[in-house]
Amino acid sequence: MANPKRRHSRSRRGKRRAHDALRAPTITECPNCHEPVPPHRVCPKCGFYKGRRVIEIEEE
């Protein structure tokens, strides 16, 4: 099996791991009820998507 002749430097290791960082999820505001919602998803509070009611929400 192949073995490395010399160890990789910290900067080289960091370059390899440059894309491994976690990002915060993107949150948009529902234009109907102004609740935070992930983009391109039906709002769980009011059931609207792109200005139309898509699902019926039961009010408790």
| pLDDT tens, residue by residue, 6-54 | 999 999 999 999 999 999 999 999 999 999 999 999 999 999 999 899 9
State the burial class of residue 32 (Cβ atoms within 10 Å of its Cβ: 0-12, 13-18, 19+): middle
Cα–Cα distance measured from residue 34 to residue 14, given in angstroms and rounded to the nearest whole number: 40
**What's the pLDDT at 12?**
95
Position 59 pLDDT exceeds 90: no
Confidence grade of residue 60 (pLDDT, cut at 50, 70, 90)? low
**What's the pLDDT at 14?**
96
The pLDDT tens digits of the residues spanning 46-58 come to 999 998 999 998 8
